[in-house]
Amino acid sequence: MKRIRNWLRKLAVPAALGISLLLAAGCSPTSAVESGNGRTAAAKAPFYDMASNQGKLSIRYFHLQSQEKSGDAILITSPEGKQLLVDAGIPETGPKLEEQLTKLGVNKLDLVVNTHPHIDHIGGLTTLLHTKTVDRLIHNGIPHQTETYRKVQSILQEKQIPHEAAAEGMKIEWSPSVSIEVLNPPQGTTPDKYEKWGTEEHNNHSLVLMMAYGDNRILLTGDLYKTQEYALADKYGGKLKADLLHAPHHGDMTSSSGTFIKAVKPGIAVLSANFLQSMDVLKRYEKEGATVYNTGKNGHLLFVSDGKTLSAYPEKP
């Protein structure tokens, strides 16, 4: 019996050590990862708990589940409680996104930003413009010849929702504590810039927003391709530096050039897509020191800023 007790005591040490290592590695679904320092700390901040983040800036990426590419949907809540939705995924995910917003207690959107009129960014608005109160909508001013785009325009007119185009240099008024500057598309861009607007032209004219709260900066890039990334890097240089970068074009190989990543130097990069589109792109960010999250692998994502530290709470570590 004594020998058995000694044997059990020996087993207990490595078992406890193994559990400690797992916890230290952030395997808890409530772990928080702080940008820029690599530390993990146990903290409860579930995705749907809005109350715990009052007085702070929170950014929520929705995991839009679909058999096809589902697109972007990002809810940003200001320290004062103002709600901003950036894009809304494809039409098929609109009802589910509406349910998730309701679960969060969001029935009014103070501002909606549609980065560009592709279906995986504008589609869910065919639901939300009907089911949620929307105070105003900002877009890039470039129309699209699709049924989904026409539906959205029709609802905007029917509901008499104010909407306006934005371009480089514009400051978006939304929250007194959060500044939003538009970096793209270039000033003077009009629908007649090209005889035909193809996929690349539409993507390169996505709205690019630099959001600042205290010391933290968040760069939202829509679906930029590398050609426009180079142009922005040349134009803005170190002004692009951000703590959190929305990886252009869902982390696709069309985008996330080394030049752009080096200019932004993100602590966190988000690949907003329901499946990982490029392992090479993911590794490119990691090589530059960024912590990378993908909605398809990590589920819903919550980022919280107190103006100094940006913390990440992935649904699935």
pLDDT tens-place string over residues 50-75: 999 999 999 999 999 988 889 999 99
pLDDT of residue 32: 52
Count CB-CB contacts under 10 A for residue 156.
Answer: 17
Give pLDDT, residue 21.
33
Domain ranges of the chain: 1-31, 45-314
The first and second tokens of residue 195, run together, are 């005889």
Tell the residue number behind the tokens 């950014």, with chain if given.
Answer: 59
Phi, psi (5° rounding) for residue 315? -65, -40
Give the pair of three-digit tokens for residue 38: 């690599």
Q: Write down the pTM of the prediction.
A: 0.87
Q: How confident is the model at residue 178 (pLDDT cuts 50, 70, 90)?
A: very high
- Among 3.40.50.300, 3.90.70.10, 3.60.15.10, 3.30.70.980, name the CATH number for the domain at 45-314: 3.60.15.10
- Cα angle 155, 157, 162; round to 5: 105
Note the pLDDT tens digit of each residue in 103-117.
999 999 999 999 999
At 195, which amino acid appears? Answer: E
Instruction: Evaluate if residue 150 carries a pLDDT over 90.
Output: yes
